[in-house]
Chains A and B, each alone.
Chain A
Amino acid sequence: MDMFMEYVWAFIIGGLLCAVGQVLIDLTKLTPARILTSYVVAGVILGAIGVYEPLIELAGGGATVPLTGFGNLLAKGVREAVDENGLLGAFMGGFTSAAVGVSAAIFFGLIAALIFKPGTKINENP
């Protein structure tokens, strides 16, 4: 049953984070790039003030998969690096913790761009 609730929370929290993004798009006309950026920065702030870790404990993937989770990861990496290396850590931790995500995006992006042909958008009614 615990396992089941884990998935329910992941769905609810993850879905809510996306729904908030949709509200921002519909009401404020924020461009998608701005929303991505705001989410990551918001994640850094939420991670810094310590609200994000409890959310991850509750929702797991529901909190780590949205980009706020990526921001939290940056904050966490910086915190650990500062603990270990002092002020220099502020300049180390972010990239260290973001390494896998960014490297994967670059590498898989390159491979996908090499393999696939550029194509147009398909026009269909939602």
Chain B
Amino acid sequence: MAIREGKTFRYSNASIMSYASVVGKTESEGPYGDEFDEVIEDNKGGAETFEQAEGLFQQKALQRAMDKTALTADKMDLIFAGDLLNQCTGSSYGLKDFYIPFLGIFGACSTFAQGLLLAGAMVNAGYVDNAAAVTSSHFSSAERQFRFPLNYGGVRTPTAQWTATAAGAAIVAATQKPPFIRAATVGKIEDMGISDLNNMGAAMAGAAYDTILRHFRHMGTGVDSYDLIITGDLGQVGSDMLYELFKRDGIDIEKRHKDCGLLLYDREKQDVHAGGSGCGCSAAMMCGHFLKHVENGDLKRILYAATGALMSPTMVQQGGNIPGISHAVEICYK
């Protein structure tokens, strides 16, 4: 079968005009704890359940992103939002009161890049004046849905990752100020034969490798063209795999690579095993940290390749694998 190469989209008229992040307590105690816009200390923020709390995280993130601009909810044209829960619960329940045209999206932990890519495309095409990308994840709601009850004493393996309690929101518009979205490559679903629920990093690394490589090819760039290549949440295992995969091609990606899953927590002090994960992980790191540095010019050109494990617990129980996906978005100062 011929392998479809796919296309890399070029954007000439899309910039991220505003962005904000909201995190939970554990995340606020990580190395970038001071950079997030809001910390919800009890991880619930007054909501009754963790699922409601996840919605609240999204709501607060979007509200804060709007507060930084002159925009109000009635001036927003479109939201792309997603999370890890069934039926995109966090997004649909959390954002309903804004009454903004809404498209729910799912790309597991790659959702934030998917949202940015789509929001950028809609703005660039002129269909809308602005579009927001919002994603969240919540350790407690994810744990309940995907793993075990919270106070169950089951043991986690060292390759397991910790779902971040965090949300990020970015508003894309045609404003002529950085950070600009310059290009994006849509990922393909890569089934690498990994079926270990506790090793999502390994399931996703192949997808990141493929998308990054295709992005390089289409743009005529390489590792050195970028200040940083930021993956979503490969964690320690996935990052090591990514280095190994690029090494086979004689490319050293490690020198320019950062992984949000490895940055969000202090892995020495916090028991997160292979690192953070979840739609909120890279969303919070991008909106809390990296976008700021592109905005002020410290970083001139970055490639943000969020990664997602398209894992269905039902399929895995039926003996299926965990397919991975990765979408890349190129964000520039100029």
Contacts and interface: CB of A to CB of B under 8 A. Distances in A.
A86 interface: no
A31 B196 CA distance: 11
Nearest to A36: B154
Contact of B150 (A29, A119, A126): A119
Nearest to B149: A118
Nearest to A124: B271
A125 B155 contact: no
Contacts of A123: 26, 162, 270-272
Contact of B43 (A31, A120, A126): A120
Contact of A120 (B139, B268, B269): B139
Contacts of B26: 123
B157 interface: yes
B150 A120 contact: yes
A29 B198 contact: yes
B272 A32 contact: no
B226 interface: no
Given A29-B196, A29-B198, A126-B271, A121 B154 contact: no
A25 interface: yes
The B interface is mostly helix, strand or loop, or mixed, namely: loop
B157 A120 contact: no
Interface in B261-298: 268-272
B143 interface: yes
B82 to A, nearest CB: 22
Interface string B30-64: 00000000000001000000100000000000000
A7 B154 CA distance: 27
B270 A29 contact: no
A24 to B, nearest CB: 11
B140 interface: yes
B181 to A, nearest CB: 34
A17 to B, nearest CB: 16
Interface string B141-156: 0010000101111110
A121 B157 contact: no
A120 B196 CA distance: 24
B108 to A, nearest CB: 21
Contact of A125 (B153, B196, B268): B268
B139 A125 contact: no
B271 A32 contact: no
A125 B151 contact: no
Nearest to B50: A120
29 contacts: A25-B155, A25-B157, A29-B196, A29-B198, A31-B154, A32-B148, A32-B152, A32-B153, A32-B154, A118-B150, A119-B150, A120-B139, A120-B140, A120-B150, A121-B139, A121-B143, A121-B150, A121-B151, A123-B26, A123-B162, A123-B270, A123-B271, A123-B272, A124-B270, A124-B271, A125-B269, A125-B270, A125-B271, A126-B271
In the A-B complex, the 3 residue pairs with the smallest Cβ-Cβ separation, listed nearest first, are A32-B154, A120-B140, A125-B271
Given A29-B198, A123-B270, A126-B271, 14 more contacts: A25-B155, A31-B154, A32-B152, A32-B153, A32-B154, A32-B155, A118-B151, A120-B139, A120-B140, A121-B150, A123-B26, A124-B270, A125-B269, A125-B270
